[in-house]
Amino acid sequence: MYWRISLTSACQVLLSLFLVHTWGLTITSPSQLPTLTFDYIIVGAGTAGLTVASRLTEIASVTVLVIEAGPSDAGDVSLQAPFLSPTLTPNSYFVTSQRTNRKYYCTDTIHDWNYSVVAQAGLNNRVFPFPRGRVLGGCSSINYMFHQYGASDDWDRMSNVVGDSGWSWKNMKQFIVKHEKLVPPADAHDTTGQIINAIHGVNGAVSISLPGNNQTIDSLVLQATRQLPEFPFNQDMSGVTPLLGIGFLQSSIGGGSRSSSSTTYLQNATERPNLTVLINTTVMKLLQTNSSQPFLKAFRSVQITPSLSDTTFNSPPQSVPASSIFTVAATRDVILSAGSVGTPQILQLSGIGNSTDLTSLGIPTVIDNPSVGKNLADHLFLSNIYSVQSNLTQDALLRSSALKNRDIASWQINKTGIISNTLANNLGFLRFADNSTVMRQFPDPAAGPTAPHWEIIFSNFWFNPGFAQPANGSFMSVPVVLVSPLSRGSIKIKSKSPFDHPNIDPNFLTNPFDIAAMREIVLAVKRFTAAPAWSNFIIGPFEQQLIVANTNTTIDEYVRAFATGIFHPTGTASMSAVNATTGVVQSNLTVKGAEGLRVVDASVFPFPLSAHPQGSVYVLAERAAVAIIQSEKL
């Protein structure tokens, strides 16, 4: 799909007038720091990092430095207009080389790390981008804003595995209310029957709303749920009540604009003199400091340098001039919130990881922990495209710069219309039947009976990231996501340079359960789209491979040719019980074997969450902030 948007000069000027906000305590270079010592240093100004920073600085006596490798999110329409989210990451579109006539992934987005996975054996050895936010707000500034909290069983399983009842669903629900602020949809329509208002918070930081632009397929999706008992309707898709079923998407959108950790948690804290945000700055490594405990290694200093201006990272430097290196120190804790790729990378660069791997790169081992960077899990994504008879899809909009600019200009004035929407209005989370082939063959990998195995999404246009939209035709996309995968991969640095991207290997579709599960899912999609509700709408599958995907062999061929990740990585600095021989952090999120070092981001989840992770990361960070405040008696 081509999501490149060419704005006219007049439209660009108009956008700039409406989308300018600045953070008063943000600085752009380490040389501008007023001091080199803070109570807490948070590495990563993303979903979790800014949440923790905001909560800690509510205490006026606590000083916090947040370090972000990327730029500010101020004044950029693509970061604020929900429908433009696919333009922010390199997985979204191809460019064609005029010299070779070959198509390549576009990798010139300044808000992304521009990572790629290593060749995926389970996906025909394909290589594709692995988007991660590199901007204030992190992934909450570039993602598609889907907002759930997982299933209750997800949290209870984690609580049991790590031996800490504080992570149980019973305890974690309080942080949902603290975090979210339910607001009306952009079009202010009556939401009766689409959400259960009573179970949501209304005074939290991040705005959550239902879709604000009705789509042609919405009524057909709901009609199909009434016709097919296999696909029941669910009135609230947040996960606060049971997650299973199909219903209306809840998104981190307020007033027709993206609600990110930057526009909420950071904005709430921007005038606090005890908060400093340093952007455009890369963490090189953590430095060992004096420890107060003989059996622990302390890491309370952080080595930093200005970020590269070349965001493609094509030729990363292997060394940095001494004059460009700065060291900042924390009197209490360094908190890694660099995400499931950045956090293990920084740990390994700092000598915390597998000693064999570190030695081979000339990095002295400080803490030998082979679990660092292991246990990488991601949700497998497959978009199933159907040709449809309607001329009311959004495909014409995606093909026309004039139409896009018209709608963007309108959105600037009233914050309504298609640009105020993310990519879907309806989605569902489902389980395989107990008597299904996959459940007869394998033990249940889900956290429990309330946790789904897979997700289904409905988009009223061509949506297949990495595959170009056809020049003609109208389409409905039915993406599916395996949210209970058993395939596991790794993050592993390649050199001592912090600018050298690590090897990212999700190891997709290498576990037999995942292969069998995708067979069940593809057949389930075909059953759903065969419901009578679609008889006057769907023409048929667009891809020939989907048409013939009816046997194990043909389904496997289809999945291996078209599936990618949905970029929900977890587990690379996994939480585990205090006496466990694996894992990277304790249940209080302190790094095992270390002092003054915590991890607060999605890398600590020991299992993949059975939903989009953004909401869960927010409540993880809310609880982490409370735990830090209580443990430090702040």
98 is in an annotated binding site: no
Q: What is the pLDDT of residue 23?
A: 44
- Whose structure tokens read 């307020």? 254
Please state, in angstroms and rounded to a whole number, the distance separating the CA atoms of residues 252 and 147. Answer: 6
Q: What is the pLDDT of residue 632?
A: 81
Please state, in angstroms and rounded to a whole number, the distance separating the CA atoms of residues 448 and 239. Answer: 14
147 is catalytic: no
612 is catalytic: yes
Please state, in angstroms and rounded to a whole number, the distance separating the CA atoms of residues 396 and 474. Answer: 8
Percent of the chain with pLDDT over 70: 92
Q: What is the pLDDT of residue 9?
A: 34
Give the residue with greater pLDDT, 257 vs 293: 257
Q: Does this model's pTM top 0.85? A: yes
pLDDT of 21 > 50? The answer is no
Please state, in angstroms and rounded to a whole number, the distance separating the CA atoms of residues 267 and 254. Answer: 14
Which of the 8 DSSP states describes residue 262?
A: I
Q: Average pLDDT, stretch 363-388?
A: 98
pLDDT of 622 > 90? The answer is yes
State phi, psi for 554 to the nearest 5 degrees: -70, -35
Those residues with Cβ within 8 angstroms of residue 101's Cβ, 6 or more apart along the chain or in another chain: none
Q: Please give the sequence-ordered ranges of beta strands (E in DSSP) within 506-563, or none if there are none.
A: 538-541
Return the CA Rg of the chain. Answer: 23
Q: Which of 147, 379, 501, 612 is catalytic?
A: 612
pLDDT of 150 > 80? The answer is yes
Q: Average pLDDT, stretch 322-331?
A: 96
CA angle 310, 315, 317 (to 5 degrees): 90
pLDDT of 158 > 80? The answer is yes
Please state, in angstroms and rounded to a whole number, the distance separating the CA atoms of residues 197 and 182. Answer: 8
Q: What is the largest CA-CA distance in the chain?
A: 73
366 is in an annotated binding site: no
Is 438 exposed, middle or buried, given 0-12, 13-18 or 19+ CB atoms closer than 10 A? Answer: buried
Identify whether the C-beta of residue 610 lies closer than 8 Å to the C-beta of residue 429: yes
483 is in an annotated binding site: no
Among the residue ranges 88-102, 252-266, 421-435, the one predicted with the least confidence is 88-102
State phi, psi for 552 to the nearest 5 degrees: -55, -45
- C-alpha pair distances (Å), 159 with each of 284, 452, 582: 33, 18, 16
CA angle 182, 186, 191 (to 5 degrees): 60
Please state, in angstroms and rounded to a whole number, the distance separating the CA atoms of residues 419 and 408. Answer: 6
Percent of the chain with pLDDT over 90: 87
Q: How confident is the model at residue 633 (pLDDT cuts 50, 70, 90)?
A: confident
pLDDT of 166 > 50? The answer is yes
- Tell me if the domain spanning 207-258+377-487+509-562 has CATH number 3.30.560.10: yes
613 is in an annotated binding site: yes
Structure tokens at 187: 């079009």
Q: Which amino acid is at 353?
A: G
pLDDT of 409 > 50? The answer is yes
Q: Are strands 275-278 and 594-595 parallel, antiparallel or unpaired?
A: unpaired
Those residues with Cβ within 8 angstroms of residue 506's Cβ, 6 or more apart along the chain or in another chain: 117, 120, 130, 376, 377, 378, 487, 489, 565, 569
* Cβ neighbour number for residue 588 with a 10 Å cutoff: 16
Those residues with Cβ within 8 angstroms of residue 259's Cβ, 6 or more apart along the chain or in another chain: 145, 206, 207, 208, 252, 253
Smallest Cα–Cα separation from 105: which of 468, 568, 560? 468
List, for residues 474-519, the tens digit of each pLDDT value: 999 999 999 999 999 999 999 999 999 999 999 999 999 999 999 9
List, for residues 63-85, the tens digit of each pLDDT value: 999 999 999 999 899 999 999 99
384-397: buried (b, 16+ CB within 10 Å) or exposed (e) per residue? Answer: bbbbbebeebbbeb
Give the residue with greater pLDDT, 575 vs 26: 575
Identify whether the C-beta of residue 272 lies closer than 8 Å to the C-beta of residue 129: no
Q: How confident is the model at residue 24 (pLDDT cuts 50, 70, 90)?
A: very low
Q: What is the pLDDT of residue 261?
A: 98
Please state, in angstroms and rounded to a whole number, the distance separating the CA atoms of residues 622 and 180. Answer: 11
Tell me the pLDDT of the chain averaged across its residues.
93
Identify whether the C-beta of residue 611 lies closer than 8 Å to the C-beta of residue 243: yes
pLDDT of 396 > 90? The answer is yes
Q: What is the pLDDT of residue 404?
A: 93
pLDDT of 22 > 80? The answer is no
Q: Average pLDDT, stretch 573-578?
A: 98
Is 496 exposed, middle or buried, given 0-12, 13-18 or 19+ CB atoms closer than 10 A? Answer: middle
